Amino acid sequence: MTIETLPSRLGEAALVALSVPEVGDDARRCKARVELRIGQQGSTVVLWQGVEGGPVIRLAADATIWIEVFSRAPAPGYHSLGALRRMVAGFAVDADELALAQALPFLERLVQRMRESMVDGRCSPAPRHERNALAHLQGRYVELGSTEAGSDWAYSETCGPAQAPALLMLHTAGADARQWHGLMGIDALRSQWSMHAFDLPGHGRSPLPAGRPNWHWELTEADYVRWVIQYLDAVGLERVVLMGCSMGAAIALPLLARYPERFVGAALLEVPYRSPGRRSPYLNSPEVHGGRLAAAWVGSLLSPTTPRAGHDDASWIYSQGAPGVYDGDLAFYSDDFDAHAHTAAIDASRTPLWLLTGDYDYSATPADSRRVAQEIAGAQFIEMQGMGHFPMVEDPIALARWLEQPLQQLRERAVT
- Residue 50 covered by a domain: yes
Determine which of 124-128, 160-164, 240-244, 355-359 has the lowest per-residue pLDDT on average.
Answer: 124-128
Angle between helix axes 97-120 and 21-29 (nearest 10 degrees) is 160
CA atoms within a 13 Å half-sphere pointing along the CA-CB vector of 244:
29
Report the CATH number that the domain containing residue 405 is assigned in CATH.
3.40.50.1820
Q: Which of 206, 197, 204 is nearest to 143 (CA)?
A: 206
Show Cβ contacts of residue 18 under 8 Å, excluding neighbours closer than 6 positions. Answer: 24, 27, 48, 110
Each residue of 222-239: pLDDT tens digit? 999 999 999 999 999 999
- Least Cα distance to 360 among 395, 339, 381, 384 occurs for 384
Average pLDDT of every residue of the chain = 95
**What gap in Å lies between CA 143 and CA 154, rounded to an integer?**
7
pTM for the full predicted model: 0.95
pLDDT at res. 180? 98
Determine the pLDDT at residue 40: 75
Scanning 244-356, the segments in alpha helix (DSSP H) are 247-250, 252-258, 290-299, 308-319, 325-330, 340-343
How far is CA 50 from its chain centroid?
30
CA–CA separation, 32 and 52 (whole Å)? 9
Are 145 and 206 found together in one domain?
Answer: yes
Task: Tell me how far CA of residue 58 lies from CA of 120, 211, 289, 350, in angstroms.
Answer: 26, 45, 22, 53
At 132 the pLDDT is 84
Distance CA 17, CA 24 (A): 8
Eight-class DSSP state of 260: G
Give dist(CA 234, CA 140) in Å, integer: 12
User: Is residue 105 domain-shared with residue 181, that is, in the same domain?
Assistant: no
Kindly state whether residues 215 and 258 are assigned to the same domain: yes
**Whether residues 114 and 176 fall in one domain:** no
Q: State which residues form the domain around 342.
A: 132-415
72 and 190 part of one domain:
no
CB atoms within 10 A of CB 303: 28
pLDDT tens-digit readout, 70-118: 999 999 999 999 999 999 999 999 999 999 999 999 999 999 999 999 9
Q: What is the pLDDT of residues 287-307, one digit of tens each?
A: 999 999 999 999 999 999 988
Q: Of the candidates 255, 264, 249, which has an alpha carbon nearest to the alpha carbon of residue 358? A: 249
DSSP annotation of 378: T
Which pLDDT score, from 0 to 100, does residue 1 have? 61
Per the domain annotation, does 127 fall within a domain? no
Domain assignment present for residue 32? The answer is yes
CB atoms near residue 258 (< 10 Å): 14
Q: Are strands 92-94 and 56-61 parallel, antiparallel or unpaired?
A: antiparallel
Find, among 48, 182, 69, the residue nearest to 118 by Cα: 69
Side chain identity, residue 112: Q
Please check whether residues 184 and 64 belong to one and the same domain. no
Task: Give me the mean pLDDT over the 318-332 stretch.
Answer: 95
Is 201:207 a contact under the CB 8 Å cutoff? yes
Lowest mean pLDDT among 37-41, 122-126, 254-258, 296-300: 122-126
Distance of alpha carbon 58 from alpha carbon 363, whole angstroms = 25
List pLDDT tens digits, range 8-56: 999 999 999 999 998 999 999 999 999 999 987 779 999 999 999 999 9
Task: Report the length, in residues, of the chain.
Answer: 416
346 in a structural domain = yes
**Residue 252 scores a pLDDT above 90:** yes
Residue type, 15: L
CATH number for the domain spanning 19: value is: 3.30.1050
